[in-house]
């Protein structure tokens, strides 16, 4: 069957999209993101998308390059850039992160420990980090990987305590800002997986934070 095609219709090898979703509301924006991903997969065309929305970039991209002062400092798949930033700049630039300063007290093949004044205790990791004894490092922990509760955890390590200074209820999740006993302020994001049936955490509540040994990323630069 013969099909007529207009001579001016092109099939470019690269398509530049400059803020294509900027004027859309949140729900339509999310739906269109999936539609763009479907089109890209179906047509096999490379999309170069200009956006100021990091979540949009993480959703649409297969690889992300992070540039600092004109130099690309990390290139990887979105989840790798987010979960395993290779330096402090990338950790702070992509998403939200809590950064703690500390010194290495032990570093074995399958574990490591860092003395952290910010949390008034030790931060344990379930892997080695190849650092020198007493080396000063930064420990990055994403807000969603920290737990918040009214009662202390069973272990004094990988934990901290403080007072809630700000609360933001966003429907699917709640965001808490907590001032630790050391004075450092951290951010915790918790999903609202269950309908609230009790007293919610709120401003000025004394709370305890905890996290798993695989939640931290150690940064030496």
Indicate whether 186 pLDDT > 90.
yes
Q: CB–CB of 106/113 below 8 Å? A: yes
Structure tokens at 39: 């089109």
Q: What is the dihedral of CA 153, 131, 71, 214, to 10 degrees?
A: -30
CA 80/CA 82 separation, integer angstroms: 5
Indicate whether 42 pLDDT > 70.
yes
pLDDT tens digits for range 127-139: 999 999 999 999 9
Burial classification of residue 128, based on how many CB atoms lie within 10 Å of its CB (0-12 exposed, 13-18 middle, 19 or more buried)? middle
Indicate whether 103 pLDDT > 60.
yes
Structure tokens at 35: 């539609």
Confidence of residue 215 (pLDDT cuts 50, 70, 90): very high
Q: What is the pLDDT, as a whole number, of residue 53?
A: 87
The answer to whether the pTM exceeds 0.75 is yes
Percent of the chain with pLDDT over 90: 67
pLDDT tens digits for range 192-209: 988 876 788 999 999 999
DSSP reduced 3-state for 88: helix
């Amino acid at each position: 069957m013969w099909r007529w095609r207009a001579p001016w219709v092109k099939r470019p090898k690269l398509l530049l999209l400059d803020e294509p979703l900027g004027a859309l509301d949140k729900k339509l924006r999310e739906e269109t993101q999936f539609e763009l991903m479907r089109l890209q997969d179906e047509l096999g065309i490379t999309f170069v998308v200009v956006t100021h929305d990091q979540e949009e970039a993480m959703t649409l991209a297969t690889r992300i390059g992070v540039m600092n002062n004109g130099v690309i400092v990390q290139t990887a798949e979105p989840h790798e850039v987010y979960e395993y930033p290779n330096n402090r700049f990338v950790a702070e630039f992509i998403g939200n992160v809590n950064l703690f300063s500390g010194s290495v007290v032990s570093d074995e093949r399958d574990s490591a420990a860092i003395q952290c004044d910010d949390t008034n205790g030790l931060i344990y990791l379930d892997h080695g980090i190849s650092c020198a004894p007493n080396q000063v490092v930064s420990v990055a922990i994403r807000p969603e990987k920290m737990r918040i509760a009214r009662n202390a955890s069973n272990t004094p390590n990988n934990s901290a305590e403080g007072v809630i200074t700000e609360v933001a209820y966003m429907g699917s999740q709640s965001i808490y800002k907590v001032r630790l006993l050391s004075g450092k302020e951290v951010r915790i994001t918790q999903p609202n997986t269950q309908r609230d049936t009790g007293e919610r955490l709120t401003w000025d509540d004394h709370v305890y934070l905890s996290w798993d040994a695989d939640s931290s990323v150690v940064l030496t630069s």
